[in-house]
């Protein structure tokens, strides 16, 4: 199974930048999208299906905001929209797709960039989401959590850890949540295969950040320990440019 996670920062904008042509190159079997910024009727499903993928999308109630989608060439045996938490579901942040005994969660974690209120909600969401996946693991131990986590875990994951230590996305409380995740049975698949610095998945759209590779690694594919032996490869695709993020790829054996 080949999986990609990719914050497209607006699915319709990405399509205008060649997203469908990229899909036709067969980049993965399952592609998890975040921040599609489109209601279901506005998701270009026919174009995506022409590239060989089934589309399952979950949109925010607010127009042009948030939302997630799973594009898949593998037929799922279950699709579940939302995680049962009212505010998270109204913002279209979580979609679950089961492939046999493997359960995949595609999640768009909140950002705290708009102020203290949203930062407070981010902490609330993190607690609610951790409870959700902890309960799910009791019955579905082979779990994959893809998405834009909106958190850099360690100093190696951000271009300037000193100057950014007080910025949302690299705050001690956020990083501690990541510690908890990886200390309790989840694996950061990218770091299994890639130990080098200067590898990022998001860049500011200002001051030539992407051209100068001044980025943040905030997009992850995490798996539970029962899937560890199945991991085959993981990498980031910084040259794919339909968004201010880039795709992250992970491959597992059957």
Q: Which residues pair with 250 in a beta bridge?
A: 3, 234
- Tell me the pLDDT tens digit for each residue of 136-182: 999 999 999 999 999 999 999 999 999 999 999 999 999 999 999 99
The mean pLDDT value for 173-202 works out to: 98
Q: Could you tell me the pTM of the whole model?
A: 0.98
Q: What is the DSSP letter of 9?
A: S
- Tell me the pLDDT tens digit for each residue of 84-131: 999 999 999 999 999 999 999 999 999 998 889 999 999 999 999 999
Q: Tell me what pLDDT residue 219 has.
A: 98
Nearest 5 degrees, angle CA 216-CA 221-CA 227? 150
Concatenate the DSSP letters of all residues of 158-216 into one string.
Answer: BS-TTTTTTSTTS-HHHHHHHHHHHHTTEEEHHHHH---SS--SEE-SSTTTTTTT-EE
Q: Cβ(252)–Cβ(227) under 8 Å?
A: yes
Which of 86, 82, 84 is closest to 95 using CA atoms? 82
Q: Cβ(68)–Cβ(94) under 8 Å?
A: yes
Q: What token pair was written down for 118?
A: 């949203």
Q: What token pair was written down for 42?
A: 């506005």
- Taking CA atoms, 206 is separated from 33, 149, 175, 200, in Å, by 23, 21, 25, 16
**Rama region for 85: left / alpha / beta (φ>0; ψ in -120 to 50; rest):** beta
**CATH number of the 2-252 domain:** 3.60.10.10
Q: Tell me what pLDDT residue 52 has.
A: 98
Tallying the residues shown for the chain, one arrives at 254
Q: Assess whether 148 carries a catalytic annotation.
A: yes
Concatenate the DSSP letters of all residues of 61-130 into one string.
Answer: SSTTS--EEEEESSPPSEEEE--S-HHHHHTT-EEEEEETTEEEEEEEPPP-TT-HHHHHHHHHHHHHHH
Q: Tell me what pLDDT residue 114 has.
A: 86
Please state the domain extents for the chain: 2-252
Average pLDDT, the chain: 97
Annotated catalytic residue within 26, 148, 219, 239? 148
């Amino acid at each position: 199974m080949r999986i990609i996670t990719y914050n497209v920062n607006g699915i319709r904008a990405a399509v205008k930048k060649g997203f469908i042509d990229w899909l036709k190159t067969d980049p993965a079997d399952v592609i998890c999208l975040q921040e599609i910024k489109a209601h279901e009727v506005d998701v270009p499903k026919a174009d995506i299906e022409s590239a060989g993928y089934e589309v399952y999308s979950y949109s925010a109630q607010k127009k042009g905001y948030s939302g997630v989608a799973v594009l898949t060439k593998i037929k799922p045996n279950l699709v579940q929209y939302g995680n049962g938490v009212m505010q998270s579901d109204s913002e279209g942040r979580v979609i679950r797709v089961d492939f046999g005994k493997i359960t995949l969660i595609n999640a768009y974690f909140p950002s705290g960039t708009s102020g203290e209120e949203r930062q407070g909600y981010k902490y609330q969401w993190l607690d609610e989401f951790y409870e959700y996946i902890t309960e799910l693991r009791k019955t579905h131990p082979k779990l994959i959590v893809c998405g834009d986590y909106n958190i850099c875990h360690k100093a190696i994951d951000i271009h300037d850890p000193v100057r950014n230590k007080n910025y949302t996305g690299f705050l001690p409380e956020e990083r501690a949540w990541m510690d908890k995740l990886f200390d309790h049975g989840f694996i950061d698949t990218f770091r299994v295969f890639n130990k080098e610095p200067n590898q990022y998945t998001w860049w500011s759209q200002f001051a030539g950040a992407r051209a100068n590779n001044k980025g943040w690694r905030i997009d992850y594919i995490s798996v539970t320990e029962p899937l560890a032996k199945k991991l085959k490869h993981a990498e980031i695709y910084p040259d794919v440019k339909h968004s201010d993020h880039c795709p992250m790829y992970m491959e597992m054996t059957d």
